[in-house]
A = this chain, B = another copy of it.
Amino acid sequence: MLENIRVVLVGTSHPGNIGGAARAMKNMGLSQLVLVDPRDFPSEDAVARASGATDILDAAQVVATLEEALVGCRLVMGTSARDRHIPWPMLEPRECGGVACEQAQQGAQVALVFGREYAGLTNEELQRCHYHVHIPSDPAFSSLNLAAAVQVLAYEVRMAWLATEGRPARQSAVVDPDEEPVAVDELESFYRHLEQALVEIRFLDPAKPRHLMSRLRRLYGRSAVSRLEMNILRGILTETIKAARGEHPKQEKADV
């Protein structure tokens, strides 16, 4: 179950922190580490700080973009400072552990995403997350060490797991695949298609996109869109674009 939960570190500068994160993960029973464009990896410093969790470093997947790191994930949670311009569904670490466990127990791939040591995650990266997680630190000194932040979330995941361990999986045993939420990469394709349609119908001006797409990402991101619903939405977009281009065969005008 815990193997369904991956830790994604984005743009890490200090390899020691990668090692510290690997150790914290292994202590808490997590094993899947994905590194997005790390500055220095593999590294001796990472091995030293991992202190025996080298199997996690050896198996770590290194990718170029966050998008690649999230392939197949149905639930993505990213750590964030509290105040952002666009309010986003915000969880505390305890809630994050609970939600992650619940989803992983149902067989979903879950990602916990951590940003750069100094700059965190970009707004674009944060918009790929279903939820933001804020560790309630002292506002006067709020930035945790990266490995310490991984430790806190991994600890809450483990606590939630220990609380449910032995409990039978929820009664979603036989799930119709059409009813299961799509993975984030399918959501990303949908957003691209949606954006294209909005440009075609002249609702979105590519020169002045404002917050439109991020608003729509927030809406659909929290809705756990199923495969069947996604097929409907994609069908609507395809027909919208055809209609906007006047590509529909001529016919008497429908009288609605």
Interface residues of A (CB under 8 A from B): 20, 23-24, 26-29, 49, 51-53, 82, 87, 90, 93-94, 135-139, 141-145, 147-148, 151-152, 155, 158-159, 162, 168, 170-171, 176, 179, 196, 198-203, 206, 212, 215-216, 218-220, 222-223, 225-226, 228-229, 232, 235-236, 239-240, 242-244, 246, 248, 254, 256
| Distance in angstroms between the alpha carbons of A152 and B155 in the assembled complex | 8
Q: Nearest Cβ distance between residue A166 and chain B, in whole angstroms?
A: 12
Please, which residues of chain B bring their CB within 8 A of the CB of A203?
A: 235-236, 239-240
| Distance in angstroms between the alpha carbons of A173 and B102 in the assembled complex | 27
- Is there an interface contact between B196 and A137, defined as CB atoms closer than 8 Å? no
| Distance in angstroms between the alpha carbons of A232 and B201 in the assembled complex | 13
8 A-B contacts (beta carbon < 8 Å): A49-B145, A51-B143, A90-B171, A152-B155, A200-B256, A201-B242, A212-B232, A220-B223
Q: Nearest Cβ distance between residue A163 and chain B, in whole angstroms?
A: 10
Q: Nearest Cβ distance between residue A246 and chain B, in whole angstroms?
A: 6
If A155-B135, A171-B82, A243-B240 touch, whether A24 touches B223 (CB-CB below 8 Å) is: no
| Distance in angstroms between the alpha carbons of A196 and B20 in the assembled complex | 48
- Is there an interface contact between A201 and B243, defined as CB atoms closer than 8 Å? yes
Please, which residues of chain B bring their CB within 8 A of the CB of A148?
A: 20, 23-24, 27, 147-148, 151
- Is there an interface contact between A229 and B215, defined as CB atoms closer than 8 Å? yes
> Given A138-B158, A240-B240, 6 other A-B contacts at CB below 8 A?
A20-B148, A53-B141, A90-B170, A145-B147, A212-B232, A216-B229
In chain B, what residue has the closest Cβ to A29? B138
| Distance in angstroms between the alpha carbons of A137 and B154 in the assembled complex | 10
Please, which residues of chain B bring their CB within 8 A of the CB of A144?
A: 23-24, 27, 151
| A152: contacting residue among B151, B168, B212, B236, CB under 8 A | B151
| A246: contacting residue among B51, B151, B246, CB under 8 A | B246
- Listed residue (A82, A176, A240) with the most chain B CB atoms within 10 angstroms of its CB: A240
- Listed residue (A24, A135, A152, A199) with the most chain B CB atoms within 10 angstroms of its CB: A152
In chain B, what residue has the closest Cβ to A52? B141
- Is there an interface contact between B145 and A51, defined as CB atoms closer than 8 Å? yes
| Distance in angstroms between the alpha carbons of A49 and B144 in the assembled complex | 11
If A232-B216, A256-B196 touch, whether A243 touches B26 (CB-CB below 8 Å) is: no
